[in-house]
């Protein structure tokens, strides 16, 4: 059929959380300079970020197209303090950390 596009199935927050865990285990994590600065300001280490990503829950996410998802993951850092990680999931192999938030 001319002009027909098959609808792509929508991803759920749970499926996206599984992708994030897979990327943490086998993919690539990108930390821009901005994130490194925020980590210092908020007393976060990479272990804190990974803990939030592995044990937290996605509260908001948006499909940006081309299998890219902008996510807000809330959880607790290694000391049990509430925090959040804003990240972009790129397909199944890359996770770009946008920023980290403490005390949320």
- pLDDT above 90 as % of the chain: 77
Domain count, the chain: 1
Q: Does residue 11 fall inside a structural domain?
A: no
Q: Provide the greatest CA pair distance for the chain.
A: 57
Res 9 pLDDT > 80: no
Q: Please, are residues 95 and 54 in contact by the beta-carbon 8 Å criterion?
A: no
Q: Does residue 14 fall inside a structural domain?
A: no
Q: What integer is the mean pLDDT of 44-53? A: 95
Q: Does residue 85 fall inside a structural domain?
A: yes
Res 1 pLDDT > 60: no
- Select the more confidently predicted residue: 60 or 7: 60
pLDDT band at 103 (very low <50, low <70, confident <90, very high): confident
Q: Does residue 18 fall inside a structural domain?
A: no
């Amino acid at each position: 059929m001319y002009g027909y596009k098959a609808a792509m199935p929508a991803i759920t927050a749970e499926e996206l959380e599984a992708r994030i865990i897979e990327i943490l285990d086998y993919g690539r994590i990108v930390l821009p300079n901005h994130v490194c600065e925020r980590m210092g300001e908020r007393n976060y280490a990479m272990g804190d970020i990974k803990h939030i990503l592995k044990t937290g829950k996605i509260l908001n996410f948006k499909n940006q197209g081309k299998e890219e998802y902008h996510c807000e993951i809330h959880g607790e850092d290694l000391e049990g303090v509430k925090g959040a990680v804003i990240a972009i999931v790129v397909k199944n192999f890359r996770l770009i950390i946008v920023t980290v938030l403490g005390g949320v």
